Amino acid sequence: MGPFRPPDLGPIETSQLLLVGIVLVTLVLSSPLVHGVTLTEAGPPTTVGDGNATVSNVDVDTDSVHVSPGRFGTAVSYVRMPDATVDVTQVDGAPRLVYRFEIPALEIDHDATKVLSSRGATTVRLGDVAVLPERLAVDRYDARVTVRVQSYTVDRVVYNESVTVEVRE
């Protein structure tokens, strides 16, 4: 064993050592054996918890809702659902938005949720719903659109509209 002599490191070796070093340090810090450091709370919450949110405006383009035939050989009809854009003014904890679309006559009850983590405008997307064409008996269907702020502690309706859904050829 001679005296320690730093090896000549090129940029590649440096980058590799840097990666390995940072990975090791992070892993050690993430260990439950090291108290007081929690790395996995850093990201935004992905599941609903306690909390509340205030909402200033909800925008759903209800005029664009309609039923139209599926394209590209799908051979079904689709209820084309609009997005809901929600202006969130305040968030505490991990509440979520529940955007729900119901057409009772077609037994459609479809919803999408989004856990809130920050203020500002947020969009909740609702996928189109397939309907067998033979189930479409009339030209118009009554539907209800609701948006709720929900958590383990609150459940508040912030948007509630009835909509007429037109069947287009």
Partner 1 sequence: MTDEQPLRKRVRDVRTRLFGALFGDRIGLTLFLGVVVVLSLYWRVGFYIADTYAIANTVINVADGHLDIQRIEYSLTLGSQPGLYRSGSQVIGRNYAAAVLSIPFYWLLEGVSALVELRIALAAGWSLLAAALASQLGGLLDRPRVTLVGTLLALGAFLANVALATPLASRWTGLLALQLLTLVAAGVVAVALYRLLSTLHGRRVGVATGILSALALPIAFWATVPKRHVFSAALIAVVLLAFARSRRPESSALLRASAYAAVGVLAWLHAAEALVVFVVLVPVDLATAPRNDRRTLIVVATVFALSVVPFVLTNLAVTGSPFETPRMLPSLGDAAQLGPDGRISIETATPTPPDPTTTPTPSPTDATPPGPDSSDGGPLGALPGVVQALVGTLAAAPARLSRLWEFVGEGASIVLGDPERLGHVFFRSGRVPGIDYSINQQEAIELTVLESAPILGVLVAAPLLWGRRVLAATRESLRAVPTAIRTNPRYQTDLLAGGIVVMFTLLYLPRLPLYSQITMRYLVPAMPVALYGVARIPAVRQSLDEHFQEFLRAYAVASVTGVVGVVAAFSWIEPALGEAMQFHALLNLAVAGLTIAVVVVAIVRDHEKGVATAVGTAGGAGTTLFVLSGIEYFTYGQFAYPIVRWLSELLPVF
- Looking at the Cβ atoms of 112 and 154, the one nearer to partner 1 is 112
Residues 6+ apart with CB under 8 A from 118: 44, 88, 91
- Looking at the Cβ atoms of 104 and 133, the one nearer to partner 1 is 133
Shortest CB 3 distance to partner 1, Å: 26
Q: Which two tokens stand for residue 46?
A: 């992905």
Note whether 27 and 40 are within 8 A (CB): no
Shortest CB 160 distance to partner 1, Å: 25
Note whether 159 and 60 are within 8 A (CB): yes
Shortest CB 47 distance to partner 1, Å: 9
CA–CA gap between residue 123 and residue 87 (Å, rounded): 9
- Looking at the Cβ atoms of 30 and 56, the one nearer to partner 1 is 30
Residues at the site binding partner 1, with contacts judged by CB under 8 A = 10-12, 15-16, 18-20, 22-23, 26-28, 30-33, 39-46, 70-76, 78, 80, 125, 127-132
Note whether 42 and 35 are within 8 A (CB): no
**Residue whose pair of structure tokens reads 């084309």 in the numeric block:** 80
- Looking at the Cβ atoms of 2 and 47, the one nearer to partner 1 is 47
Shortest CB 32 distance to partner 1, Å: 8
